[in-house]
Amino acid sequence: MLSSVDRLLFVRRVPIFKELRDDFIVRLTSVMHELHFPANHTIFRQGEEGRSLYIIVSGRVRVHIGDKQLAEVDQGKYFGEMAVFDTQPRSASVTTIEPCEFLELTQEQLYDAIEETPEIAVNIIRELSRLIRHLNDNLNMTTSNAS
């Protein structure tokens, strides 16, 4: 089990939270659930309803659609953020590659956090924009290489 100081230090490194005040992060991390899963455990499946994002404290997961792997996500990164914002079914499945420990942030907890500290919304928008730009760059490289 992580101490409150460990939670603060860990969550502080996550891009969407890094510019926030420590007192806010302490309050936010105090309501996050700590989860542990063995290797080869499915966290969620494509098509399921999702209302949480997960921050990886230790371990690695694979994001996949069926047998096609889309990404590997490891310590200090997060996944599941799309369903927290658009309440649409999960777009992919996530399965642990090795034993993992997570902090779970629910949609309700995140919305309460945004209401209390609107700067978190700006950080999230900035981080999601970076992700979209990265995906666009990858798509452009793939298209260029195919020509």
Domain ranges of the chain: 4-146
Q: Tell me the pLDDT tens digit for each residue of 115-147.
A: 888 887 888 788 788 878 887 888 788 777 776
- pLDDT at residue 147, rounded to an integer: 62
Q: Model pTM greater than 0.85?
A: no
**Average pLDDT over all residues of the chain:** 87
Class for the domain spanning 4-146 = mainly beta
Q: Which are the contacts of 138, defined by CB distance < 8 A and separation ≥ 6?
A: none
List, in sequence order, every beta strand (DSSP E) within the chain: 33-37, 42-44, 52-58, 60-65, 68-74, 78-79, 93-96, 100-106
Indicate the pairing of strand 78-79 with strand 52-58: antiparallel
